[in-house]
A and B are shown apart, each in its own frame.
Chain A
Amino acid sequence: AQSVTQLDSHVSVSEGTPVLLRCNYSSSYSPSLFWYVQHPNKGLQLLLKYTSAATLVKGINGFEAEFKKSETSFHLTKPSAHMSDAAEYFCVVSVDSGNTPLVFGKGTRLSVIA
């Protein structure tokens, strides 16, 4: 069975400093991995996805994530945080064509301090 662990429930950074949100996964198969963002009182929006084409994946709003099979990790990074990045971020894993639902991490709340 697959699982996802987001290692921090809350991360706080200053505006203009780097962002690192950590995600580890467990899967018996080669996974697809996704990061979603949820701004307050909004739905979830896809940030980026890994599908084995390239280990470094670029997403929207300057975010990127690196798939490391040896570490079973898929950490999300951004070089310079902006106030508008304050949101909840979810790491998600998929292992088959869809008959098995995707598995969500519990989320990391990112705060950005001016």
Chain B
Amino acid sequence: NAGVTQTPKFRVLKTGQSMTLLCAQDMNHEYMYWYRQDPGMGLRLIHYSVGEGTTAKGEVPDGYNVSRLKKQNFLLGLESAAPSQTSVYFCASRPTGFNSPLHFGNGTRLTVT
């Protein structure tokens, strides 16, 4: 049982390049989330999904797009990367129920030069 898997683990991009981060969960969770973590800022929510085919904006959505075509996958896209998007990105999932905890992936470290 892999839990939440993020690919890739590391990536270096040049300004203006695009890329997609993949998050896959095998726990049949309904909700999925993308966060970014920067020093001193804690975790900030980028986008989230409450079910297959649905997405919603979080706290810092600008410059990112997401898709949830399959329940187990949540993709985060950067269309034109900027140095300000250098960060560690975490995906998380949780089942329904307000007392259900988040399950996190191990993160993707992205550097934009």
Residues of A within 8 A of B (CB): 9, 32, 34, 36, 42-46, 49, 51-52, 90, 92, 94-99, 101-102, 104-107
Contact = CB atoms under 8 A, between A and B. Distances in A.
Interface stretch (B12-20, B42-50, B67-75, B76-84): B42-50
Do most interface residues of chain B lie in helix, strand or loop, or is the interface mixed? loop
A72 to B, nearest CB: 17
Nearest to A48: B101
Contacts of A34: 101-102
Contacts of A92: 102
B33 A101 contact: yes
Contacts of B107: 42-43
Given A98-B31, A98-B50, A106 B99 contact: no
Given A44-B90, A106-B42, A32 B104 contact: no
Given A43-B107, A98-B30, 12 more contacts: A36-B104, A42-B107, A44-B92, A46-B101, A46-B102, A46-B103, A92-B102, A94-B98, A98-B31, A98-B50, A99-B50, A101-B33
B82 to A, nearest CB: 23
Contact of A51 (B30, B43, B48, B99): B99
Nearest to B44: A104
B102 A102 contact: yes
Contact of A90 (B31, B33, B43, B96): B43
Nearest to B95: A98
Nearest to B3: A43
Nearest to A33: B99
27 contacts: A9-B40, A34-B101, A43-B104, A43-B105, A43-B106, A43-B107, A44-B43, A44-B90, A44-B92, A44-B102, A46-B102, A49-B99, A51-B99, A52-B99, A94-B98, A94-B99, A95-B98, A96-B98, A97-B97, A97-B98, A98-B94, A101-B33, A101-B45, A101-B48, A104-B43, A106-B41, A107-B43
A99 B106 CA distance: 24
B61 interface: no
A95 B99 CA distance: 8
